[in-house]
Amino acid sequence: MYDSILVPLDGSPFAEQAVAVALTIAERCHAKLTLVRAWDPASYRYTTELIPPFLDPEAHDRAVAADYLETVAARLRPGATVPVDVAAVAGSAPEAIRECLTHSPRDLVVMTTHGLTGLSRAWIGSVADAIVRTVMAPVLLLRPLETPGPPLEARFDRVLIPLDGSTEAEEILTHAVEVGVNARFVLLRVERPVVTALHPYAYAAPAWQTDHEATEEIARHAHDYLSGIANWVRARRPNATVDVDVRLTERTGTAIVEVARDYKADLVALTTHARRGVRLVLGSVADKVLRGTHGSVLVLRPSAVVGDHPEARVAGAASGHDSR
């Protein structure tokens, strides 16, 4: 599915842990792998044309970034079955990624959630958040190992996919099945129980009760919706196992974390926002998922206009449900 896979690096071994995972996905998809390192030229804004090129510190940093990337690429190329390119780009990490993306739906970004460069945290939530917010490509966020050990697993055995019935949320499906391959997929829908007022008196303290009949109807509708999506996933991955789960709670993020733990999911795939005002952006629900689970997170910022993305309504059409 993917033509291009990008890996942002910062020179740390933590960030480099994403390379093996990205290469495995690239070889499976026959995609080009590009290693990207950003460097900030802001500190050289006072450099003038009077400074000879060999004294230009900006040129030195460009060369250092390029040499580092070539060193990492040289370790990969002898055993790789796909092209391995490098790109040293001036600017911030999100700017570097945007410049290297091909602006097609066949791009994927793979990165660790943080790394250490000296005493500074180079890849922390703010960087991942900025990349997710500014690129339309899916971003696979991997949790790096803090101590030396075996490389990160490039295989995901249990993939949790939270959905809310919207076409925006469904856009993650094609990417989840591509990354998860023949995993056990768990389709989750979180719904709020229906509550009604016990009395209409404004002067009395408000009291509420659960409308069990209406709540059960919502749960049945959610289960039917997920069953339709499950059929679509099975058609794409006949060897995969697909389960559906409906949770009734007010707390979306907490429910996703609990379900991820219940199924021992090693990957949670979700869009960066959904319907009904529930924002699944890094820093809120997705950040809670990332911090609350031990697995990886595949995040996608959906198309700005429903229907512009070639995959936008594929799952809804296959399931026979109009998710609007």
pLDDT above 80 (res 296): yes
Architecture of domain 4-142: 3-Layer(aba) Sandwich (3.40)
* Per-chain mean pLDDT for the chain: 79
Cα–Cα distance between 98 and 92 in angstroms, integer? 10
Residue 17 CA from chain centroid, whole number: 16
Instruction: Please name the residues in contact with 264: beta carbons below 8 A apart, sequence gap of 6 or more.
Output: 158
pLDDT above 50 (res 120): no
Give residue limits of the domains in the chain: 4-142, 158-319
pLDDT for 272: 76
Q: What percent of the chain has pLDDT over 90?
A: 45
Hey, what are 152's tokens?
């990160």
pLDDT 10s digits, 37-64: 988 665 544 445 555 544 455 567 788 8
Instruction: Please name the residues in contact with 85: beta carbons below 8 A apart, sequence gap of 6 or more.
Output: 32, 33, 34, 35, 73
Q: Which is the CATH superfamily of the domain at 158-319?
A: HUPs (3.40.50.620)
The reply to whether 158-319 shares the fold of 4-142 is yes
